[in-house]
Amino acid sequence: MIIVPIKEGENIERALKKFKRKFEKTGTIRELRARKNFEKPSVRNRMAKQKAIYVQHLQLLDEQ
């Protein structure tokens, strides 16, 4: 359970922003979306490898 302490006279938007930030850090939404569709480990590994290649390519372009 996420608890957001609110100070006296604090704006509700500011408290909501704190709540959203804490909730995002827990990773609940990311986990739910990942569990929504099963992804085989081989597919997951392939995607991670493609992403690593892409990032490395961008770094090489940035160095030049």
Q: For position 7, what pLDDT does the model report?
A: 87
Q: For position 45, what pLDDT does the model report?
A: 97
pLDDT of the chain, 64 residues: tens digit per residue: 888 888 888 899 999 999 999 999 999 999 999 899 999 999 999 999 999 999 999 999 999 8
Q: For position 41, what pLDDT does the model report?
A: 95
| E strand or H helix at 33 | helix 28-36
| CA distances to 12, 19, 37, 43, 51 from 56, in Å | 43, 35, 28, 20, 9
